[in-house]
């Protein structure tokens, strides 16, 4: 049973475009939603995270939008660059499961020059 | 992250062999995790340990075992490797003192091929 559903599985955009990756969850106990970025040959690394008490969080060109009523959150990458080409994972956690991260399946993003 | 190291980085072995993957961290974190990554399947949790005396099965623990030798060391063993255990394996650490923002820090991964 996949508790965090991520889409699309892969995405190709041109440089300067705004790729959007979406995640949906069912468990309303989740209260922390991080995004991790993984470059080829590397382990994932935390990119940005949000809690459900805010609807948006921005860090540089990366923005998380959060819709608590729809139980959805998304990652937007403004002015995307070829260096943003990576796999992106959304995740969720709550105190009731000892903060173990429940992961989406990942989105492979390619930004063409 | 150089603070989390994994050895070996690559390993090719044969069916039936016993394999140990090792993870060490200098971050002083109490929590450690082993994940498996397969294309299209994301990150699957194999085992996790919240301290030296606390080890728990993850979603895909069958065929694997672990040992937490010290706070800084967490090893993963495949007692009798089989071809469908061919995958990329990641170790990760986190600090329970972060509260809800329990960021996981990943090692560089071990690519395991079982022939």
pLDDT computed for residue A2 by the predictor: 66
pLDDT at B90 over 70: yes
pLDDT at B1 over 70: no
d(CA A17, CA B51): 44
What mean pLDDT is reported for chain A? 95
For residue B57, what is the nearest residue in chain A, using CA coordinates? A100
B50 CB-side CA count, 13 A: 11
Please give the average per-residue pLDDT across B16-45, as a whole number.
95
d(CA B108, CA B110): 7
Query: pLDDT tens digit string along B32-76?
Result: 999 999 988 899 999 999 999 999 999 999 999 999 999 999 999
| Mutation for A interface: B87, B94, B100, B111, most A CBs within 10 A | B100
For residue A100, what is the nearest residue in chain B, using CA coordinates? B102
The answer to whether the beta carbons of residues B1 and B23 sit under 8 Å apart is no
Strand A20-25 with A4-7, pairing: antiparallel
B residues 55..84 contacting A (CB < 8 A): none
Confidence of residue A83 (pLDDT cuts 50, 70, 90): very high
d(CA B40, CA A103): 12
pLDDT at A104 over 70: yes
Please give the average per-residue pLDDT across A52-80, as a whole number.
96
Q: Which residues of A touch B92 (CB under 8 A)?
A: 43
* CA angle at A100 for the pair B109 and B74, rounded to the nearest 5°: 45
Peptide linkage before B8 cis (omega within 30 of 0): yes
For residue A39, what is the nearest residue in chain B, using CA coordinates? B108
DSSP string, B6-20: EE-SEEEE-TT--EE
Of residues B97 and B18, which shows the higher confidence score? B18
Confidence of residue A75 (pLDDT cuts 50, 70, 90): very high
pLDDT computed for residue A1 by the predictor: 57
Q: Provide the shortest C-alpha distance from residue B104 to chain A (in Å).
A: 7
pLDDT at B83 over 70: yes
Please give the average per-residue pLDDT across A71-83, as a whole number.
98
| Mutation for B interface: A9, A29, A43, A95, most B CBs within 10 A | A43
User: What percentage of chain A has pLDDT greater than the value 70?
Assistant: 98
Count other Cβ atoms within 10 Å, centred on residue A29: 12
């Amino acid at each position: 049973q996949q508790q965090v559903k991520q889409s699309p599985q892969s995405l190709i955009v041109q440089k300067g475009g705004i790729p959007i990756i979406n995640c949906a969850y069912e468990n309303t106990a989740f209260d922390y939603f991080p995004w991790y970025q993984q470059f080829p040959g590397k382990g994932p690394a935390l990119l940005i995270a949000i809690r459900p008490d805010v609807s948006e969080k921005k860090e540089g060109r990366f923005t998380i939008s959060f819709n608590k009523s729809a139980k959805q959150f998304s990652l937007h990458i403004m002015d995307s660059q070829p260096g943003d080409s990576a796999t992106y994972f959304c995740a969720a956690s709550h105190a009731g499961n000892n903060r173990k991260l429940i992961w989406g399946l990942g989105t492979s993003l390619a930004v063409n020059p | 992250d150089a603070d989390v190291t994994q050895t070996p980085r690559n390993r090719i072995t044969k069916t039936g062999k016993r394999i140990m993957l090792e993870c060490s961290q200098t971050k002083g974190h109490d929590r450690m995790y082993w994940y498996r990554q397969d294309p299209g399947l994301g990150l699957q949790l194999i085992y996790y340990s919240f301290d030296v005396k606390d080890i728990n099965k993850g979603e895909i623990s069958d065929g694997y075992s672990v040992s937490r030798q010290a706070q800084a060391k967490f090893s993963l063993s495949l007692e009798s490797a089989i071809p469908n255990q061919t995958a990329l394996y990641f170790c990760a650490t986190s600090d329970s003192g972060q509260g809800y923002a329990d960021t996981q820090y990943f090692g560089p991964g071990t690519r395991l091929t079982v022939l």
